[in-house]
Amino acid sequence: MRVLCSGGLGDAVMALGKLRSPKLIHQDINLTHVHLSGILLKELDLFYSSQNIKHEILKIDNWSWLEENKNKYDLELSSTWYSSSDHIEINPFPELNYNWMDVDIVLSPFAGQKRNRKLEFDQIERFAERYGERVTYIGEKCNFLKEVIKRTNRIDLIVDFPQLINILCCAKVVISPEGFVVYFAGMSKKRVFCLNYNVSAIKERSHPNWNIKLFDDLKEIENEQI
């Protein structure tokens, strides 16, 4: 069965949930995931490979490609947790492949391809002072995270994507702006705190059974007895 989907890593989490739904889990699926940017192609490939999904990742020039080519596929998945044009609701808690790690609190300071969804430096500093070694920071090496490391006196930073999968599946608490980290952690049955931003996307991708709570400032989480 040839299945098509599109978008970024958050959309890939929705695709995984739908491929593991009762309607599709026993089908022989060949997934094609298309994306405009070349930035996430490697990460998309690693994500699907980590969950043993047969797939190919295609970089397209514009979204009109979808309309021109979708008739070549048996099914096009939507990027929502609920049943829409594809008539499939995600399995909110599918079996996930990962290796065990001892992880407590995970904090992702930013999200989005343009890193435009991010937490404030002063909030991170205050949070780091209180929780110290309990916190594992995740993300790509960039000027923003270099500053986070400098201000929190931490030298460890998780940048390896396969290791990120393991960390999110094993963490007790996950904190992040809206995006892949929030949705995959929710699917991993974790306690998730999501920055109150891009709420329309959160409603479309956050399953009601996931333990996700919105926040505006990290100090709100300090009152949650994590």
Specify which of 50-59, 116-125, 141-150 reaches the highest per-range mean pLDDT.
50-59
Query: Which SS3 state, helix, strand or coil, does residue 181 take?
Result: helix
Structure tokens at 12: 């890939």
Give the number of other CB atoms < 10 A from CB of residue 209. 11
pLDDT-derived band at 37, boundaries 50, 70, 90: confident
Q: Which residue has the higher pLDDT, 48 or 120?
A: 48
Mean pLDDT, the chain, whole residue set: 90
Q: Which CATH architecture has domain 105-221?
A: 3-Layer(aba) Sandwich (3.40)
Give the number of other CB atoms < 10 A from CB of residue 3. 23
In angstroms, the Cα distances linking 165 to 99, 169, 182, 183 are: 9, 6, 12, 12
Estimate to the nearest angstrom the gap between the alpha carbon of 13 and the chain centroid: 6
| Alpha carbon distance 11, 24 (integer Å) | 17
DSSP 138: B
| Alpha carbon distance 20, 50 (integer Å) | 14
| Alpha carbon distance 145, 121 (integer Å) | 10
Residues 6 or more apart whose CB falls under 8 angstroms from that of 99 comprise 166
Q: Is pTM beyond 0.85 here?
A: yes
Domain segments of the chain as ranges: 2-76, 105-221
Dihedral through CA 25, CA 27, CA 30, CA 35, nearest 10?
Answer: -40
Answer whether residue 18 shows pLDDT above 60: yes
Q: What is the mean pLDDT of residues 10-31?
A: 98
- Going by their DSSP bridges, the two strands 105-107 and 135-137 should be labelled as parallel
Q: What is the mean pLDDT of residues 163-183?
A: 95
Percent of the chain with pLDDT over 70: 89
Give the number of other CB atoms < 10 A from CB of residue 47. 25
The pLDDT of residue 10 is: 95
Structure tokens at 61: 């020039």
Containing 123, the helix (H) or strand (E) segment is: helix 121-131
pLDDT-derived band at 25, boundaries 50, 70, 90: very high
Q: What is the mean pLDDT of residues 129-158?
A: 70
Answer whether residue 191 shows pLDDT above 70: yes
| Alpha carbon distance 55, 21 (integer Å) | 17
pLDDT of 72-131, one tens digit each? 999 999 999 999 999 999 999 999 999 999 999 999 987 765 456 788 888 888 888 899
